[in-house]
Structure 1
Amino acid sequence: MITVYGEGRGFRVVWLLEEMGLAYRVRAVDLLAGVEQDREFLAVNPAGFIPAIVDGDIIMVESIAILEYLLATRGPSDLAPTPDDPAFATYQQFLHMGEAGLAGPINAIVATEILAPEGEKRNWTTGWALGTFESRLGLVRRQLDQTPYMAGERFTAADISVTYALELAARTGCFTLGPVECAYVARTAAREAYARAMDNCPATKAWAAEVAGGRSEG
Structure 2
Amino acid sequence: MLTVWGEGRGFRVIWLLEEMGLPYRLRDVDLLKGVENDPEFLAVNPGGFIPALQDGDTILVESIAILEYLLARYGPSPLAPAPTDPAFAAYQQFLHLGEAGLAASAFFVIGARRLGPESDRNSFSARQAEHVFESRLRLVTRRLAQVPYMAGEAFTAADISVAYALQLGKLGADLEIGEAAQAYVQRLKARPGFQRAIAASPATRSFWESKGGL
TM-score by length of 2: 0.98
Partners in 2 of 1:39 and 1:2 — Cα distance?
19
The C-alpha deviation readout for 1:189-209, integer Å capped at 9, x for no partner, is: 110010110011001001111
Match in the other structure for 1:186? 186
Equivalent residue runs for 1:52-131 within 5 Å: 52-131=52-131
Partners in 2 of 1:33 and 1:83 — Cα distance?
43
CA deviation after TM superposition for structure 1 residue 115, in Å: 3.4
Q: Which runs of 5+ in 1 are unaligned?
A: none
CA contact (8 A) 2:106 2:173 kept: no
Q: Which range is displaced more, 188-197 or 169-178?
A: 169-178
The residue type equivalent to 1:199 in the other structure is A
Q: Which runs of 5+ in 2 are unaligned?
A: none
Partners in 2 of 1:131 and 1:68 — Cα distance?
28
1:43 pairs with 2:40: no
CA contact (8 A) 1:53 1:60 kept: yes
The residue type equivalent to 1:167 in the other structure is Q
DSSP-derived class of the 1:212 partner: coil
DSSP-derived class of the 1:36 partner: helix
Match in the other structure for 1:166? 166
Match in the other structure for 2:26? 26
CA deviation after TM superposition for structure 1 residue 33, in Å: 1.4
CA deviation after TM superposition for structure 1 residue 174, in Å: 2.8
CA contact (8 A) 2:113 2:173 kept: no
Partners in 1 of 2:173 and 2:116 — Cα distance?
17
Match in the other structure for 1:145? 145
TM-score by length of 1: 0.96
Partners in 1 of 2:146 and 2:115 — Cα distance?
40
CA deviation after TM superposition for structure 1 residue 122, in Å: 1.1
The C-alpha deviation readout for 1:8-28, integer Å capped at 9, x for no partner, is: 000000000000000000000
The C-alpha deviation readout for 1:116-175, integer Å capped at 9, x for no partner, is: 222112100011000000000000011000000000000000000000000001111431
CA contact (8 A) 1:106 1:174 kept: no
The C-alpha deviation readout for 1:58-91, integer Å capped at 9, x for no partner, is: 0000000000000000000000000000000000
DSSP-derived class of the 1:85 partner: coil
Match in the other structure for 2:177? 177
The alignment yields a C-alpha RMSD, in angstroms, of 1.2
Partners in 2 of 1:37 and 1:57 — Cα distance?
23
The residue type equivalent to 1:116 in the other structure is G
